[in-house]
């Protein structure tokens, strides 16, 4: 089935140790998003790609970077994770246009120790 796949499902890293989260999609959607969701909060958009066009949210820390080498894959790099970066990271895709719906991966739960 076409879907959005995130790996790993759970990730533990040490304070300051770089970590990369991955997302792949078989939907061939133009837009890919990375959201950060902390406990009991709404998902917070970090950045998104429209094809290769990268769009960073103004309040996304420089510590967070992203790469989209092709349509199918998107990566979230956290260069020096802090304790406050412990959260669920959600990848989502959509097609552009009216009525665009988000298709989410199952998320990566990141714990920074």
Partner 1 sequence: RKEVEQDPGPFNVPEGATVAFNCTYSNSASQSFFWYRQDCRKEPKLLMSVYSSGNEDGRFTAQLNRASQYISLLIRDSKLSDSATYLCVVNPPYSSASKIIFGSGTRLSIRP
Strand partners, 25: 4
Residue 12 CB, shortest distance to partner 1, in Å, is 15
Measured CA to CA in angstroms, residue 45 lies from 14, 30, 86 at distances of 24, 17, 15
Task: Identify which of residues 2 and 42 has a Cβ nearer to partner 1 in the complex.
Answer: 42
Residue 106 CB, shortest distance to partner 1, in Å, is 5
Tokens of 8: 């790993």
Residue 85 CB, shortest distance to partner 1, in Å, is 17
Task: Identify which of residues 79 and 109 has a Cβ nearer to partner 1 in the complex.
Answer: 109
Task: Identify which of residues 27 and 102 has a Cβ nearer to partner 1 in the complex.
Answer: 102
């Amino acid at each position: 089935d076409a879907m959005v796949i995130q790996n790993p499902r759970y990730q533990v890293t040490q304070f300051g140790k770089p970590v990369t989260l991955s997302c792949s999609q078989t939907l061939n959607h133009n837009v890919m998003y990375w959201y950060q969701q902390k406990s009991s909060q709404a998902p917070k958009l970090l950045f998104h790609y429209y094809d290769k066009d990268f769009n960073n949210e103004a309040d996304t820390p420089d510590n967070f970077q992203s790469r989209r080498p092709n349509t199918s894959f998107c990566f979230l790099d956290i260069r020096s994770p802090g304790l406050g970066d412990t959260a669920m990271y959600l990848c989502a895709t959509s097609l552009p246009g009216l009525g665009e719906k988000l298709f989410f991966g199952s998320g990566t739960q990141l714990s920074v120790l």
